[in-house]
Homo-oligomer: A and B are copies of this chain.
Amino acid sequence: MTAAELAALLNATLHGDGTRPAVRPCHPREARAADDIAVAMDPDLLPLLADCRARVAVVAADAVDRVPEGAVDAVLAVGRPRLAMAGLTAAFAGPPPVGPGIHPTAVIEDGAVLGADVAVGPFAVIAAGAEIGEGTVIGAHVTIGAGVRIGPRGLLHAGVRIGSGCTIGSDVILHHNASLAADGFSFVTPEKGSVESAKESGRVEATNTGLVRIHSLAAVTLGDHVEIGANACLDRGTLSDTRVGDHTKIDDLVLIGHNVQVGSHCMICGQVGIAGSAVIGDRVVLAGRVGVADHVTIGDDAVVAAGSGVGNSLKGRAVYYGTPAVERERAFEAYMLTGRLKGLFRDVKALKADMKALRRDGGPSHG
């Protein structure tokens, strides 16, 4: 690719020599060759260009005049750096983890149906009745259960486990060791148990004399363009599938409990946990490590800050913080007031002394 071609791809303004080759995007400090592309969209990196082997640089449009004089031969100025990063990295993304074709060691049971150009890596297992869409790539050591349907252009990395009966849309990416359709965590005691007692009275007045298993008869349904992170777990539904809507992205080590419904275009960040039967709207953002209680509803476009614990349903289009999660203003007010407690204790101590003095001699102690 040339600098001019890359500029066109990124909707960037080109300054300088558009004929320069542009072969490998890298941090300015890690450029090794003239045809590297120094990515310096963070203005703090601009000084590094002065002593950089790359002859092409990508910078933020509003900082283009800070590129050191003569540092590179071609400058690509972009208006929205992170969006440019998306385009840039897409253009140079590497090949899938397994090559084309069906590896001879893979086990594909009778009755599994593979679309055109499906690639299957070593030791993958595809059970009877599974249907894999055109162009989907199944990595090494992947397990696909009976009757699973996967759309076209999917990418399943090594060690992904998909239990029987799941339905997965097109263009889905599943990372290392992600688990779809393990059984839900659902038990009941024959008589009232300790948790029911705690919810009713706040006390433990009953004991869990036996835990009886509620089996999970349903599976997991993922929409199109969904991405699921490494070692994440999405459990089966009890009677209806646990569902994730189109374009929703789920990070590593996230737990989505049984029966949960997640809308479309959500971002569910690392280590989030959503307990059984919760309902998450569209375009919801749950930052890292957020916990959501069972049966809770979160409205569209809600943003929940990292580490928050959502114990009750939340309306959409607002920002929430803390445990229990409350609207940002309320959380910040509580935080501010707590930070001023030391002064409050001091004030009350002084007031008590004043009052004592008043009581003793009819006047304030230091009036």
Task: Return the contact of A202 from the options B208, B255, B329 (Cβ within 8 A).
Answer: B329
Copies in the complex: 3
Interface status of A66 (Cβ within 8 A of chain B): no
- Closest residue on chain B to residue A185 by CB atoms: B251
Bound Cα distance from A25 to B210, whole angstroms:
24
A163 contacts B97, CB within 8 Å? Answer: yes
Bound Cα distance from A257 to B88, whole angstroms:
20
Bound Cα distance from A216 to B27, whole angstroms:
13
Task: Return the contact of A306 from the options B80, B216, B253, B311 (Cβ within 8 A).
Answer: B311
Task: Return the contact of A341 from the options B217, B238, B337 (Cβ within 8 A).
Answer: B337
| Interface range on chain A (Cβ under 8 Å from partner) | 35 or more
Nearest CB in chain B: distance from A114 CB, A: 17
- Set of chain B residues within 8 Å of A94, measured between Cβ atoms: 164-165, 217
Nearest CB in chain B: distance from A102 CB, A: 14
A contacts, CB < 8 Å to B: 25-27, 30, 39, 80, 82-83, 85-86, 89-90, 92-94, 97, 103, 105, 107, 121-123, 125, 127, 139-141, 143, 145-146, 157-159, 161, 163-165, 173, 175-177, 179, 182-183, 185, 187-188, 190, 194-195, 198, 202-204, 207-217, 227, 229-233, 235, 238-240, 247, 249, 251-253, 255, 257, 265, 267, 269-271, 273, 275, 283, 285, 288-289, 291, 293, 301-303, 306-307, 309, 311, 317-319, 323, 328-329, 332-334, 337-342, 344-345, 347-348, 351-352, 354-355, 358-360, 362-364, 366-367
